[in-house]
Amino acid sequence: YARDLGGWYNIDETCENAADEIDRLNAENARLREALKPFAKAGELFSARDGHLDMLIYAPAAGAEYQIVGDDLRRARAALAEKEKKS
């Protein structure tokens, strides 16, 4: 047991809860990385942006906040590549 300003608590239970949360977050991370793969793959088609212009990939009538541009796909590719470098 350990004590803080809130009183006594079971440190084994705290560690177990933390481990469960780490497992949950790792599973969520894996699901999100898997969902990102098609966008990262499409990002391979786009080289670095040339100046201020970027390729507009998707522009629905709903407005600019729903647009997908080349930078979005490049970021997806970079995010997955960063993790692969660390592995």
Task: Give per-residue pLDDT as tens, 9-59.
Answer: 888 888 898 999 999 999 999 999 999 999 999 999 888 887 777 888 999
Q: Name all contacts of 21-28 with Cβ < 8 Å and 24+ positions apart.
A: none
Q: Is 55 helix (H, G, I), strand (E, B) or coil?
A: coil
The tokens for 29 are 């991370």
**Cα(37)–Cα(41) distance, integer angstroms:** 6
Residue 69 confidence class, pLDDT cut points 50, 70, 90 = very high
Return the exposure string of 35-48: e unless at least 16 CB atoms fall within 10 Å of the residue's CB, then b: ebeebbebbeebee
- Residue entry with tokens 């098609």: 38
User: Looking at the predicted structure, is the pLDDT value of residue 68 above 90?
Assistant: yes
Backbone dihedral angles phi then psi of residue 11, each to the nearest 5 degrees: -65, -30
Query: What's the pTM value of the predicted model, to 2 decimals?
Result: 0.70
